[in-house]
Amino acid sequence: MLSDQILRQRYRIIEQIGGGGFGDTYLAIDLDFPGERKCVVKHLSPKNFAPEAVAIAKRLFKTEAECLSRLGEHDRIPRLYSYFEEEGQFYLVEEFIQGSNLASEFQSGKKWSEAATVDFLQELLEILTFVHQANTIHRDIKPANIMRRERDGRLFLIDFGAVKEILTVDEKGQTNSTNLTVGIGSIDYMAPEQAKGKPGKYSDIYAVGMLGIQALTGLTSRDLPQDSDKFRQILDELQINISSQLESVLVKMISLQPQNRFADAAKALEALIPADIIEPPIKTSHPPKKFLIALLGAIAISGAGIYALQVSKQPNYAQLETYLQNKQWQQADAKSDRILLKIAGEDSALDAESIANFPCNSLSKIDRLWTNNSKGRFGFTPQKQAYLETGNQIGRFTESTYQAFGDRVGWRTFNSWSLYGDLKFTDIAPVGHLPSPGMVAADNDLRWREREMLLSRFDECGL
């Protein structure tokens, strides 16, 4: 209906990509940006014209914008670009995530492996930890509100239109409770207390548990079990074998009594990936500024403040192994990058300090997974060998020989270093081509220098 319309002389509507009770969602182009950057425009257009309904819709729309403005700081939640009123209509513009929502992955009949399910739950709970630590409840967690980015397979949580803020902190550090009692969310994933208008963070956990069960069983959302007995019965009937640990985490997540569930995403994450199978992050302290914000905590829940309060992220090797066994090289590459970052306790890139302290057993483990599943073609071991064979010395960066190494492993073509999009994710990529030196989110450039340091660390570890 808005097709080809230009809002604010800036956002050209391309096509509708979603529509719900409160509004419609469009793909648009930001004309102010060179290269015609894509963005998403949400238009508030309540389908119910009763004055109360319109008032509620407006309030929720504003809350969505406010939440995105704060939570969009997180790298797995779309950024808010703009929120405005034009000709009496309300609009919200946010970052476009190139990919698709998970509705198709949750098709009925398709069963996920335990490793894939745990990996999915872990990734989702990590994003949700950030949301919960900002004292917000998402309230509408379901496949259509989770996106998978095409470029690297990473998950994004979207649609904060149903979000509920439990506690807000104003500039003076005072807290205000907001009291919304509107029943929203998708009924199939909705916790019983939320259906009665009393949601808490634990209500999101219930929905996450239901998604986990749906992934494992391939059931339609309507056929999901209503209690843990039914869940166990379904596992039996469908002959699905999962570890008792995952079973008990899911059982706890879908408890009918909220007090029997995990209180929030951080607690659920801890139970899903127990601390004894992970290495502690190298960096236990945060940069002074973030740390101070964490201590003062209450002044304003800014992005940096929330970040400092986040739990340490935890690596999951099981999914890496599955990707490698299936020869899903690109996914395995992205996963390895994530594991390296998680172990280092970094968000976007490894720095010299974290590389110098990188745990040897983790490097060895990642290397072994790659070499074992590629007949020795990929991994740090073949990279180190190619590095030495092209005249490089461990711990000494020399540009000319490093370029020769880049040529050898296929990271350089026609005398220039590749971008992420130039990499080859196939069985016949040059020896040592993968895992790649990680992607720098902003410009698709790869971290060549850091990979050289990592290979030195690999050598230092006696590997």
Q: What is the smallest separation between the CB atom of 387 and ligand ADP, expressed in angstroms?
A: 40
Give the span between the Cα atoms of 184 and 67, in whole angstroms. Answer: 16
Query: Does 101 interact with Mg ion (rule: CB under 5 A)?
Result: no
Phi, psi (deg, nearest 5) at residue 194: -70, -40
Phi, psi of 327 (to 5 degrees): 55, 35
Q: How many CA atoms lie within 13 A of 404 on its CB side?
A: 13
Q: Are strands 89-95 and 80-86 parallel, antiparallel or unpaired?
A: antiparallel
Q: Which is nearer to ligand ADP, 17 or 271 (CB)?
A: 17
25 counts as binding ligand ADP under rule CB under 6 A: yes
Q: Which residues, 6+ apart, have CB-to-CB distance to 204 below 8 Å? A: 128, 131, 132, 137, 138, 139, 141, 265
Among residues 40 and 191, whose Cβ is nearest to ligand ADP? Answer: 40
362 near ligand ADP, judged by CB under 6 A: no
Instruction: Specify the DSSP class assigned to residue 439.
Output: B
Q: In this chain, which stretch among 66-74, 141-149, 298-306, 328-336 interacts with Mg ion, using CB under 5 A?
A: 141-149
Please report whether residue 97 would count as binding ligand ADP according to CB under 6 A: yes
CB atoms within 10 A of CB 170: 11
Alpha-carbon distance values, 42 to 11, 19, 23, 46 (Å):
11, 9, 7, 12
Q: Which two tokens stand for residue 139?
A: 């309230």
Candidates 16-24, 51-59, 81-89, 289-297 — which segment interacts with ligand ADP by CB under 6 A?
16-24
Tokens representing 150 are 């095409």
Length of the chain: 463
452 touching Mg ion, by CB under 5 A: no
Q: How deeply is 359 buried, as exposed, middle or buried, from its count of CB atoms within 10 A (0-12, 13-18, 19+)?
A: middle
Q: Which residues pair with 23 in a beta bridge?
A: 44
- Return the residues of window 340-379 that contact Mg ion according to CB under 5 A: none
Among 65, 127, 158, 293, which residue sits at the site for ligand ADP (rule: CB under 6 A)? 158
Interacting span for Mg ion (CB under 5 A) from 154-162, 296-304, 416-424, 450-458? 154-162
Select the span of 109-117, 156-164, 302-310, 350-358 touching ligand ADP (CB under 6 A).
156-164
Catalytic residue at 276? no
* Residue nearest to ligand ADP as judged by C-beta position: 18
Q: Does 72 bind ligand ADP (CB under 6 A)?
A: no
Please count the residues of this chain forming the interface with ligand ADP, following the rule CB under 6 A: 18
Kindly tell me which residue out of 44, 57, 71, 94 binds ligand ADP, with binding defined by CB under 6 A. Answer: 94
Selected catalytic residue, list 119, 140, 204, 264 = 140
Task: Return the closest-CA partner of residue 60 out of 195, 192, 164, 201.
Answer: 164
Q: Quick check: 112 binds ligand ADP (CB under 6 A)?
A: no
Q: Per CB under 6 A, does 145 bind ligand ADP?
A: yes
Site residues (CB under 6 A) for ligand ADP?
17-20, 25, 40, 78, 94-97, 101, 144-145, 147, 158-159, 161
Query: Which residues are tagged catalytic?
Result: 140
